[in-house]
């Protein structure tokens, strides 16, 4: 497998991201919706490439995604998508109506505080075999020592030692079903989550709804969540969706495992 590309010569947008990362999909979707050219820097998260010194110089938190824009780093996916919409006026993704813009920001907050937490435990549980693959105890300690935040170190160590508890996974199930219910309820009188127009609210939420649908298709038998399913199909019909979610614009994308 080839090495990650950390070279950022030249101007413009450089995106450091993971192929299956929900937060990376969020930023890719925003970039494609706005038609912003970018240079891809794909990282293999299961090989801890996000903890290499070259990347930590860009994002000291050691997580993806991150942007370099004209040589300046921009981190945190929800902040990145608002930043992109502020910097590039084409195809605006914020509602004009102040109340709808408020609704949009509520959904962005919800995506960070609820939807992300709903999917991370079952997602990491699926990946737990890779957390310590090929690592003896000494090598594992060395690898964990390079993870810059305690929360992430603890999470990887938990994966290496057996994964989440049944109680933690049951809590994730409740949160995932809560996300589906919240989206379904919100779409009762509107086509898009933030209001009358497609916006950053939809971009922020769809990676997590997509992940829930992939993790637990049994949550959505025929006849359930009709509004959510219609909204999701509207999302899938957008050309930017396939580019962002089935990303191929990087030689390494074909080499890296998807979830």
Q: Write down the domain spans for the chain.
A: 13-92+246-254, 98-245
Please give the class, per CATH, of domain 13-92+246-254. Answer: alpha beta
Residue 164, pLDDT score: 82
- The confidence score (pLDDT) of residue 202 equals 98
134: left (phi over 0), alpha (psi -120 to 50) or beta: left
pLDDT at 152: 67
E strands present in 47-198: 66-69, 72-75
Q: State the pLDDT at residue 108.
A: 98
How many Å apart are CA 11 and CA 120, to the nearest integer? Answer: 34
Give the residues of the chain that fall short of pLDDT 70: 1, 10, 128-137, 139-140, 143-144, 151-152, 155-156, 158-161, 258-259
Q: Provide the CATH number for the domain formed by 98-245 in this structure.
A: 1.20.1050.10
Domains 13-92+246-254 and 98-245 share a fold: no
pLDDT of residue 124: 82
Predicted pLDDT at 176: 98
> What's residue 142's pLDDT?
72
DSSP state, residue 49:
G
Q: How far apart are CA 8 and CA 41, in angstroms?
A: 9
End-to-end CA distance of the chain: 18
Q: What is the pLDDT of residues 213-229, one digit of tens each?
A: 999 999 999 999 999 99
Beta-carbon contacts of 110 under 8 Å, excluding residues fewer than 6 positions away, are: 182, 205
pLDDT value of residue 125: 83
**pLDDT reported for residue 126:** 80
* Predicted pLDDT of residue 226: 97
Closest of 237, 211, 117 to residue 168, by C-alpha: 117
Q: Please, how many CA atoms are within 13 Å of residue 31, restricted to the half-sphere of its CB? A: 29
């Amino acid at each position: 497998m080839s090495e990650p590309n950390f070279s950022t010569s030249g101007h413009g947008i450089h995106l450091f991201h993971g192929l299956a990362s929900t937060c990376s999909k969020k930023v890719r979707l925003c970039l494609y919706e706005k038609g912003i050219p970018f240079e891809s820097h794909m990282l293999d998260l299961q090989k801890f490439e996000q903890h290499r010194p070259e990347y930590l110089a860009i994002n000291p938190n050691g997580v993806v995604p991150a942007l370099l824009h004209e040589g300046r780093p921009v981190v945190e996916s929800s902040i990145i998508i608002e930043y992109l919409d502020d910097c590039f006026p084409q195809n605006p993704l914020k509602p004009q109506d102040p109340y709808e813009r408020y609704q949009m920001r509520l959904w962005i907050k919800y995506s960070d505080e609820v939807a992300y937490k709903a999917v991370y435990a079952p997602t990491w549980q699926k990946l737990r075999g890779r957390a310590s693959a090929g690592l003896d105890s000494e090598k594992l300690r060395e690898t964990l020592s390079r993870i810059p935040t305690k929360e992430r170190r603890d999470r990887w160590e938990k994966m290496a030692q057996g994964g989440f508890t049944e109680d933690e996974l049951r809590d994730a199930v409740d949160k995932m079903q809560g996300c589906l219910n919240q989206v379904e309820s919100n779409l009762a009188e509107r086509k898009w989550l933030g209001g009358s127009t497609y916006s950053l609210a939809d971009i922020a939420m769809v990676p997590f709804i997509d992940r829930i649908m992939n993790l637990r298709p049994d949550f959505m038998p025929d006849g359930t969540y009709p509004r959510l399913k219609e909204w999701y199909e509207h999302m899938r019909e957008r050309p930017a969706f396939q580019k962002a979610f089935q990303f191929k614009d990087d030689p390494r994308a074909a080499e890296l495992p998807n979830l």
